[in-house]
Amino acid sequence: MAVPPPGVNRREVPRGAGAFRARPRRAWWRGSAANWSNAPAWESGSPPRPARSAPGRGGLGPAWGAEVVSSNVVGYEKINLVKGYTQIGIQFQTVGAADGTIPLNSLSFSGLTGYDWDAFTMGDTLTIWDAESQAYATTYAWSGEGSEDYDVPANVWFDDSELAEADVDLPVGSSVFIKSASATPPQAVAAGEVLSDATSSISLSKGFTQFANPYPTAIKINDIAFTGLIGYDWDAFTMGDTLTIWDAESQAYATTYAWSGEGSEDYDVPANVWFDDSELAEADVTIPVGGTVFIKSASGGTATFTNPIK
């Protein structure tokens, strides 16, 4: 059974088992950033409407509003959130950026329940796992007008410790947990530039690391190249490193286990794979576009992804 990272309020992140399902939609932009209405430049889907708000104010921000021309693939992704918890992987950087990040408040959300300034009651929350401290950092939705008493503009995620707009840059390949109380499921839109590197590696900490495929494609977990894994002990039947995937529909985790040695003659498990202990076979699990995973590692290591667009 998957166990949420230590120190997490168990009421905030439930446990269990299940399978991850997401229903994202995406379209690829083949033109310049100066003319989003040029429909033939879209490979599929429809171009998003430019945000009415200024960059960094709860709209799509600099990824769509700035006059920046990119030589890389640019796209966007829509993810329908659920009432409860949804994980979202970060798979785009700001157009023209060189640091591989995108500001949290340049992501666009609709239908969120915001913080109540009068009653000081919490609305929807967005948490980010910090692998170094092994703890979550939480920001809160504000979905109304700006506050005259605090440095919080309209329609942003804000930092309640500073009572100000959250100043957070999300690296490509990172992920966030959103808890929504809204009766009508909100929607998230991520937009920007796709990494152009042929491969991208993510460092795994000792303990829990939460991450996403840095490229906006689906990928099987056994197609990711891992180093440093400690595998299941077939003789002692002791667990090694684990990979868990959150299922927003069932609000539960599904867990697979690392096998880092030779294949097993007794079970249908080849060498060096993630496997399903309920079937005693190689795990047939796909991380969808926008999907994320938690790795629990006893020693740390790396996860390397290959760019399918190259």
Which domain-ending residue is among 142, 162, 193? 193
Query: Sign of dihedral through CA atoms 47, 48, 49, 50?
Result: negative
Residue 217 is assigned to a structural domain of this protein: yes
Please check whether residue 280 lies inside any domain of the structure. yes
In a domain, residue 206? The reply is yes
Measured at the CA of 109, the angle between CA 251 and CA 13, to 5 degrees, comes to 25
Give residue 310's pLDDT: 63
Antiparallel, parallel or unpaired: β 301-306 and 207-212: unpaired
Q: Averaged over 178-185, what is the pLDDT?
A: 85
Question: Which range scores top for mean pLDDT: 23-32, 98-107, 116-125, 137-146?
Answer: 98-107
Alpha helices for 43-87 (secondary structure H): 62-65
Residue predicted with more confidence, 224 or 259: 224
87 and 170 co-located in one domain: yes
C-alpha distances in Å from residue 255, one per residue of 15, 18, 191, 283: 11, 8, 30, 10
User: What is the average per-residue pLDDT within 233-250?
Assistant: 85
- Considering the domain boundaries, does residue 14 fall inside one? no
CA–centroid distance for 260 within its chain: 26
Token pair 């590696």 is at which residue?
Answer: 201
Q: Same structural domain for residues 212 and 171?
A: no
What lies within 8 Å, CB to CB, of 306 at 6+ separation is 198, 199, 225
2, part of any domain: no
148 shares a domain with 297: no
**Residue 33 vs residues 62, 193, 194: alpha-carbon distances, Å:** 11, 11, 14
Q: Which of 69-83, 119-133, 134-148, 159-173 has the lowest mean pLDDT?
A: 69-83
State yes or no: pLDDT of 80 exceeds 90.
no
Residues 30 and 178 in one domain: yes
Q: What is the DSSP string of 171-185?
A: ETT-EEEEEE--SSP
Say whether pLDDT at 7 is over 50: no
CATH of the domain at 252: 2.60.120
State the average pLDDT over residues 212-228.
Answer: 93
Q: Do 123 and 243 lie in a common domain?
A: no
Q: pLDDT value at position 62?
A: 34
**Does residue 3 fall inside a structural domain?**
no
The reported pLDDT for the residue numbered 223 is: 95
Task: Return the top range by mean pLDDT from 50-59, 93-102, 241-250.
Answer: 241-250
CA nearest to 304, candidates 190, 176, 197, 194? 197
Confidence of residue 71 (pLDDT cuts 50, 70, 90): low
Higher pLDDT among residues 12 and 85, named by residue: 85
Residues of the domain holding 276: 199-306
pLDDT of 206 higher than 80: yes
Please, is 104 exposed, middle or buried when counting C-beta atoms within 10 Å of its C-beta (0-12, 13-18, 19+)? Answer: buried
Q: With a cut of 60, say whether residue 102 has pLDDT above it.
A: yes
Q: Give the least confident one: 23-27, 37-41, 150-154.
A: 23-27
β-bridge mates for residue 179, sequence order: 85, 125
Do 156 and 209 lie in one domain? The reply is no
Domains in the chain, number:
2
Q: Are residues 244 and 279 in the same domain?
A: yes
Average pLDDT of 58-80? Answer: 56
Residue whose pair of structure tokens reads 């009432």 in the numeric block: 83
- Give burial (CB, 10 Å; 0-12/13-18/19+) of 132: exposed
pLDDT at position 25 over 50: no
* Helix (H/G/I), strand (E/B), else coil: 141: strand
Assess whether pLDDT exceeds 80 at residue 176.
yes
pLDDT score of 166: 93
Q: What is the pLDDT of residues 254-307, one digit of tens each?
A: 999 998 777 667 777 888 899 898 888 899 999 988 889 999 999 999 999 998
Q: Is residue 291 assigned to a domain? A: yes
Distance CA 191, CA 196 (A): 15
Highest average pLDDT, of 50-54, 141-145, 252-256, 271-275, comes from: 252-256
Tell whether 16 is covered by a domain: no
Q: Are residues 269 and 127 in the same domain?
A: no
pLDDT of residue 279: 84
CA 181, distance to chain mean position in Å, is 19
One domain, residues 31 and 171? yes
| Domain limit, last residue, from 176, 193, 210 | 193
* The token pair that represents 94 in the structure block: 């700001």
Asked if 234 and 215 sit in the same domain, the reply is yes
Position with higher pLDDT, 277 vs 125? 125
The whole-chain average pLDDT of the chain stands at: 76
Question: Could you tell me what percent of the chain has a pLDDT over 70?
Answer: 74
- Residue 150 tokens, joined: 């605090």
Domain boundary among 170, 193, 216: 193
Statement to judge: residues 102 and 243 lie in one domain: no
Pair 254, 188 in one domain = no
